[in-house]
Amino acid sequence: MSDPAPLKILVITEVFSPEEFLINDLVFTWKTEGLLVSVLTRNPSYPLGKLFAGYRNRLFYKEVINKVPVFRLQFIPGYKNNKLIKILNYIWNMVLGFLWAVKNGRHFDSIFMYQTGPLTFSSIGILIKKMYQKKTTIWTQDVWPETVFAYGLAKKGISRMILEKFVEWVYSNCDHIAVSCPGYGPVIQKYCPSKDVNFIPQWSLTSKLNDGILPHHEVIYPGKFNFVFAGNIGTVQNLENVISGFELFLQNNSTSEAWLNVIGDGSRLDYLKRLVVNDHIKNIEFWGRVNTNEMPGFYEKADVLVISLENKPIYNLTIPAKFQSYLNADKPIFGVIGGEVARFIINYNLGWVARPDNIGEIANTFQEIISSDPGIFKKKTINANSLLKDQFNQKKIIQKLTDLVFVR
């Protein structure tokens, strides 16, 4: 008797290569292991809300990346700074996805949904399940409806009721549910109490410098001691408080040669640049967006890496993807953050923590860090490597996801 044909997996994800997300690693690993995997996504546009060079923003478009068929949907440009366009995008991508699913969903055996933002995109997989009785697995990186509430939307009335019914419909129709942050589990189980929710964390998106991936040019920071923040620069990253704390620290240490380096792009970048100029804040450098393959060089030259989020319940549940990249960078971490990440930093002695809404505490922690003995930095780096190997190992995590998808 011949072996059964391999399962055909459809990965549904709002973002995919050439956009830089973990889902690329997962899909290409599955492909190299001989699995029949395809991707449904939108035309590449993150984070600027503009179409990537070399693409046309067609309604439907197919390409092949590393032998993986990728089916793309049209998006509405300009969503980066416009909330209305962002919402319209959610709806438009869902409608196009439904049309695509009606025609093509029957061709797949299993659906895997990588949810980084709108749950509306993952609902395409639920439609395929309902129409063609396919098995569905979701890996949630951003938990709805709490994220929507945190943005000040659908907090009460009929809009809240509709949103919660939608969330219940999606999760109750998933065969398997995984979350990237343990705090997401109880939130999701309110909508599907009979389902098991598995904690499967993210891994580091960046490589270590000694993995053979070298920067195109040597990174030269301006200070003798360099704090580095890297990642998306939006409202939730709380960088205004970080900068205010750093400014207060400098006022108390006017001769300090410590610098705060901000790497990345996002909706608040221009505002923060204006803030620094208008308030004459010294020793802050904005580097703009840097490609992921360049980041090992930027991390290698840093002294301490800064991670920050607003002090809101949903963000206290969140472990941002950059946390794993910071662990991988062999540097101590300064967390201007609460919740899950703060507990990791404190419990595993990875660095220092300050409350996100306490400017004085942030300033005092900057001072504590630059006054610390070098041996303390080395100890915290060793602890970070141990945690990375124990809980955030890429091969182990991909195997857990594979096992979950292939549970019969």
Are 10 and 110 in contact by the 8 Å Cβ rule? The answer is yes
Check whether domain 209-391 has CATH 3.40.50.2000, yes or no: yes
pLDDT tens digit string along 72-93?
A: 999 999 887 787 888 899 899 9
Q: What is the pLDDT of residue 138?
A: 96
3-state secondary structure of 197: strand
**Which is more confidently placed, 390 or 398?**
398
Residue 407 has pLDDT above 80, yes or no: no
- Domain 8-203+393-405 belongs to what topology? Rossmann fold (3.40.50)
Give the rounded distance of the alpha carbon of 114 from its chain centre: 11
pLDDT beyond 50 at 212: no
The token pair that represents 401 in the structure block: 């996801």
308 in Cβ contact with 238 (< 8 Å): yes
- 220 φ/ψ angles, rounded to the nearest 5 degrees: -125, 105
- Please enumerate in sequence order all residues whose Cβ is within 8 A of that of 248, keeping only pairs 6 or more positions apart, or say none: 359, 360, 362, 363
Domain boundary assignment for the chain: 8-203+393-405, 209-391
Please tell me what DSSP assigns to residue 73: E
The yes-or-no verdict on residue 379 having pLDDT over 90 is yes
In what order do the strands lie in the sheet containing 333-336? 284-288, 258-263, 225-230, 304-308, 333-336, 351-354
pLDDT score at 61: 92
Per-residue pLDDT of 227-268, as tens digits, reads: 999 988 988 899 999 999 999 999 988 777 999 999 998 888
pLDDT digits (tens, 9 = 90+) for 262-273: 999 888 899 999
Cβ atoms of residues 11 and 97 within 8 Å: no
* Residue 110: per-residue pLDDT: 93
pTM: 0.79
Among 378, 379, 229, 198, smallest CA distance to 298 is for: 229
Which token pair is 92? 């438009």
What pLDDT score does 235 carry? 87
Between CA 358 and CA 219 the distance in angstroms is 32
Work out the number of other CB atoms within 10 angstroms of the CB of residue 390. Answer: 10
Matching fold, domains 8-203+393-405 and 209-391: yes
Q: How far apart are CA 20 and CA 48, in angstroms?
A: 13
The candidate with the shortest Cα–Cα distance to 118, out of 38, 27, 41, is 41
Structural Rg of the chain based on CA atoms? 22
